[in-house]
Structure 1
Amino acid sequence: MNWSWTVFFETIPLISKGLWITVGLTLACYLFAAIFGFFWVFMSRIPSKIVRSIFGWIAEFIRSTPPLVQLFFIFYAWPVIPVVGVSLNPFVAAILGLGIHFSTYMSEVYRSGIESVDKGQWEASTALNLSTRQKWTKIILPQAIPPTIPMLGNYLIIMFKEVPLASTIGVVAMLHIANDYGSQYYKFVEPLTVVALFFLLLSYPSAILISKLEKKYNRKFDKKAMTS
């Protein structure tokens, strides 16, 4: 198949229409995952061993299942389940599917940050008779989250790469537009190349930013280690 620069430049404005849908969906999925990740953390810390085991198994099952399968289940299978089934539009289904999937990974990042908080801080919050909400919002999370920022940023880049899966359930983003164009004109290489370039433009600056954040925090903790 011959490469056509005419097709390449023709598809750029066409596919760029789906660029903002891709960006919006990525940010929405990431925000959902970042917030819902705390749910798994708190469920893993409740006193009941049975409840902890149940939610731990659920989280492990979600991590072990391909996100594409989860998207198909939420969009196609969930609506036909009696009583609890509900139909969702493709955009909402994608946010739930990808958001819940990656929230289980981000919860592990949060957990590592929480466990890095010095034991003395936990004891101090107890000695000060702080409420559970005050202990987490004023003592634990302000110390646990900053060191995890580089790792959380890496999941934003991963999310950019996984969002094209949403085209399989009808989200009209860049990949969906490129496939439609290819099916109509039997030209796939050029539009898919445009999609790849757009993803590079989106992910590469993010990767540079995450790298700088990682170096910044590494220097910060190195200095702290030297002074301690």
Structure 2
Amino acid sequence: MLFGIHWDTSSDLAFAASILPILLRGMVITIEATVLGFFIALVLGLVLAVLKAAPTRIVSWPALVVTEFVRDTPLLVQLFFLYYVLPEYGIVLPAFLTGALALGVQYSAYTSEVYRAGLEAVNRGQHEAARALNLTTTRTFTHIVLPQAVPRVIPALGNYLVSIMKDVPVLSVVTVLEMLNVAKIIGDRTFNYMIPLSMVGGLYLILTILASAGVRYLDLKLPKIGIPLK
């Protein structure tokens, strides 16, 4: 008895052990949504960064407007729009894909700024050297500029990976059975919320620590080519 609460350690451990496999299945969904959402954010963010850096305003301004709109509107609004509004126009996506897409689109606005900083950090002499070698613009970007820019922004991109992972529970509003939604269902059925929610918190802690360690390892291993940032 502690603070008026009776703790039955053996039954609590048995309950935790019985729900662990279900929570682990929810954790798999969480990881899958994180990976897919992060991949979308990386690709779309790079596209937006390149478009925003275009010399012509007819190309750069739409990308700037899209970035600001996505960044300044809540993730939940975007999620509801994709899940409830698009079907009215004949576009019906599974709940999981809708959630991952919403995460990717939301965070692409942030990763585009990270990419922009990395691209601008590459010394202009690299571009001039590429032109002197008669390299095409595409080849200069993919073989010279991008390999120098990406290693510099790995830590910032890693922060958004962790942020996406922690935002995955928002997908429960469109019936995605990620960890937190599974824990809530268990709590609703057993009237015991503390154990499943505590376990979810612990699992998220483990996942974020592993993700952060992976990002640090990648940051140390990738060579920082070119002129260092000042």
Matched, 1:135 2:140: yes
Q: For 1:145, what is the secondary structure of its paired residue?
A: helix
Equivalent residue for 1:163, pick from 159, 162, 168: 168
Q: Which runs of 5+ in 2 are unaligned?
A: none
Q: For 1:39, what is the secondary structure of its paired residue?
A: helix
State the match for 2:15 in structure 1: 7
CA contact (8 A) 2:186 2:193 kept: yes
Which residues of 2 match residues 78-227 of structure 1 at below 5 A? 78-81=86-89, 85-211=90-216, 216=220
Deviations 1:178-214 (A, max 9, x none): 1111122222221111111111111112223434555
Deviations 1:122-158 (A, max 9, x none): 1111222211211111111111111111211111111
- The alpha-carbon deviation at position 13 of structure 1 amounts to 1.9
Rounded Cα–Cα distance in structure 2 between residues aligned with 1:93 and 1:151:
25
CA contact (8 A) 1:3 1:190 kept: no
- The alpha-carbon deviation at position 34 of structure 1 amounts to 0.8
- The alpha-carbon deviation at position 2 of structure 1 amounts to 6.0
Matched, 1:66 2:74: yes
Runs of 4+ in 1 over 6 A off after TM superposition: none
CA RMSD of aligned residues (A): 2.3
Q: For 1:87, what is the secondary structure of its paired residue?
A: coil
- Relative to the length of structure 2, the TM-score reads 0.86
Rounded Cα–Cα distance in structure 2 between residues aligned with 1:205 and 1:98:
20
- The alpha-carbon deviation at position 11 of structure 1 amounts to 2.1
Q: Is the deviation greater in 127-136 or in 114-123? A: 127-136
Distance 1:2 1:128, change over 3 A: farther
- The alpha-carbon deviation at position 32 of structure 1 amounts to 1.3
Rounded Cα–Cα distance in structure 2 between residues aligned with 1:110 and 1:55:
14
Which residues of 2 match residues 9-24 of structure 1 at below 5 A? 9-24=17-32
Rounded Cα–Cα distance in structure 2 between residues aligned with 1:77 and 1:2:
48
Rounded Cα–Cα distance in structure 2 between residues aligned with 1:3 and 1:178:
20
Q: Tell me which amino acid in the other structure corresponds to 1:210.
A: V
CA contact (8 A) 2:168 2:178 kept: no
- Relative to the length of structure 1, the TM-score reads 0.87
State the match for 1:43 in structure 2: 51
CA contact (8 A) 1:3 1:189 kept: no
CA contact (8 A) 1:43 1:55 kept: yes
CA contact (8 A) 2:148 2:224 kept: no
CA contact (8 A) 2:30 2:179 kept: yes
Q: Which runs of 5+ in 1 are unaligned?
A: none
Q: What fraction of aligned residue pairs are identical, expressed as a percent? A: 36
